Structure 1
Amino acid sequence: MIRKCEEHGYFRGEECLKCGERGKFMLDDEHEMRLGRFVSGVLRHFPDDVGLDMDAQGWIELDAFCEAMKKRYKWAGKMRLVSLVESDPKQRYEIDNSFIRARYGHSIDVDLDYPLYDSDVLYYGVSQEEVDMLLENGIKPYRQTYIHLSNSSQRARQAASVHTDNPVILEIDAASAAKDGYEFLCANEEIVLSKEILPEYIEIADD
C-alpha cells in the first residue's frame, strides 16, 4: 500500500516510519502491482508498443507517458505514478522535471548517463552452476543491456537469492578494470551498472 505523509512524502505501508502518521491513501497493493508492471514494461522493454518515444538515455516525456498509462488504467493519474516512483525502496525509476525513465533493468538498447562509480571492488551473486563458466568467460548481460553489480557482498547475496538458494559471491576488481578503460555507472545507492566484466577482474569473494 502506498500513502502520502504531508510532512515526509510518499511511503509504503500503513504508517509513515518517520512520524507514525497514516497519511493520505494513494494505491492499494493490487493497483500498485498492476501499475508497477506497466511502468516496468514500458520504461524497460516496450515503449514502442504503447506509442511512446524514448531517447538514447532512456527518458520518456512524463505527460505522454501519463496519457498512455491512463488509456490502460483510467484510475492511474500522474500523482499515483509519482507516488509509485518516489516510494519505491529499490529506486527503480526516476522523474526529472518533465521526463521519466527506469534507472536499470533495460532489455532495450539505452546509453545511460549516470556518474561513474569510484570503488576498488564490486560484487555479483551467481548460482553454483554458473561459477566456473563466469570465471572462465567473464560476465556479460543476459536479457538486459547492462550487468547489475552490487556495492556490497551482502546486497549481492540478497539479489542472487531471488534466483538461487545458495549463491556464490564473485568479487570484481573494479579499480583495475576502471584503469583499463571499463566504466561502472552508479544507478542508485546500491546498484552499479557495467556492459562487460572480463575474467581477469573476477574472483570468488572471501566470505
Structure 2
Amino acid sequence: MDTKQLQETSKFLSYVLRHEPQAIGLQLDSEGWADIGALIAGAAKDRRALDIALIQAVVSSSDKKRFSISDDGLRIRAVQGHSTPNVSLQHIEKEPPEFLYHGTARRFLDSIRQQGLIAGSRHHVHLSQDIPTAIDVGQRYGKPVVLKIEALRMHQQGFKFFQAENGVWLTNHVPVLFVLEEEQKAI
C-alpha cells in the first residue's frame, strides 16, 4: 500500500467515523464503534475499495493514533474528535499537567481572546502535551500560533480534563482567563 492510499483512506475514515457515518449508511454506537464489515460494505456503495488489511494498515501506521480496533477485531472507532451527536465517548477524568498547549491559526486569535477556546462542532477542545504537536495542529488551519493553557490551575478550579487513547487532552471549554497571551509563540 502506498502512502497516498493510506492518507486518503485515513481521511475517509476520519470523515465517516467522526462526522458523517450516515454518508455511507454506517451506524456508530454511543462509544463511536462501527462494525468493520458494515464500514467496508458502506464504503463499497460509495465506490471506495476498503478491506480489512487496508484498514489495519491505516490504524497501525497512523502516527497520531486516530483510530482504534476492538480487541475482537470486529469494530473500529475514531478515538476523539467526533461531531456526530449520538457519540459520547466516556473518557476517564485525569489530572492534567501544569500546562497544555493549543495549536491554532493566527486568524482565530481575536475570537479566542473574546470567547476562550470552545469546542465548536466537536465535543471537546483538543489540547496537546507539547509545543511541536500543537504547531503541527495549528499548521492545518493557517499560520500557526501556539497558546499555553494553565491546565492544572483550571483543574484545581473544577474544570474536568480527559485524555484520549492517543494522548490528546480534552476539556469542554478553556476560558480566556487560562490562556496565557504572553506565552503565545508565533511560528
TM-score range, shorter chain: 0.7 to 0.9
Give the distance between the partners of 2:77 and 2:20, measured in 1 at CA: 13
Q: Where does residue 112 of structure 1 map in the other structure?
A: 89
State TM-score, norm by structure 1. Answer: 0.75
In the superposition, relative to structure 1, how do residues 159 and 76 fare at CA in structure 2: closer, same or farther (>3 Å)? same
CA RMSD between the two structures? 2.3
- Note the C-alpha offset of 1:73: 4.9
- Identical residues among aligned pairs (%): 26
Post-superposition Cα deviations, 1:62-114, rounded to whole Å, max 9, x if no partner, equal 23223323444574211221111111111111111332111123221332223
- Show structure 2 runs of 5+ residues with no match: none
Q: How far apart are the structure 2 equivalents of 1:106 and 1:90? A: 15
> Are positions 1:198 and 2:175 aligned together?
yes
Q: Using the alignment, how far apart are the partners of 2:27 and 2:145 within structure 1?
A: 39
Q: 2: CA distance between counterparts of 1:29 and 1:154?
A: 23
Secondary structure of the structure 2 residue equivalent to 1:32? helix
Name the structure 2 match of 1:53.
Answer: 27
SS in 2 for 1:171: strand
Does the 8 Å contact 2:6/2:57 carry over to 1? no
In the alignment, the residues of structure 1 paired with residue 105 and residue 55 of structure 2 have an alpha-carbon distance, to the nearest angstrom, of 35
In the TM superposition, what is the alpha-carbon distance from 1:43 to its structure 2 partner? 0.1
The Cα shift of 1:190 comes to 4.4
Q: Please tell me the residue identity of whatever aligns with 1:107.
A: S
Which residue is equivalent to 1:19? none
Q: Deviations over 1:166-189 (max 9, x none)?
A: x33221111122223322221245
Q: Indicate conservation of the 8 Å contact 1:138/1:196, yes or no.
A: yes
- Higher RCO, 1 vs 2 (CA within 8 Å, ≥6 residues apart): 2
Equivalenced residues, count: 180
Distance in structure 2 (CA, Å) of the matches to 1:163 and 1:151: 19
**Amino acid aligned to 2:80:** Y
Contact 2:64/2:166 (8 A) holds in 1? no
Do the aligned partners of 1:70 and 1:77 also contact (CA within 8 Å) in 2?
Answer: no
Report the TM-score, using the length of structure 2 for normalisation: 0.82
Match of 1:138 in 2: 116
Tell me how far apart the structure 1 counterparts of residues 35 and 140 of structure 2 sit (CA, whole Å). Answer: 32
How far apart are residue 31 of structure 1 and its match? 2.9
CA distance in 1, matches of 2:56, 2:20: 20
Q: Which has the larger radius of gyration?
A: 1
2:140 matched to which residue of 1?
A: 162
Residue type of the partner of 1:183? Answer: K
**Number of the residue aligned with 1:86:** 60
Q: Which residue in 2 is equivalent to 1:28?
A: 2
Mapping of residues 30-45 of structure 1, within 5 Å: 30-45=4-19
Q: Match for residue 101 of structure 1? A: 77
AA aligned to 1:55 is D
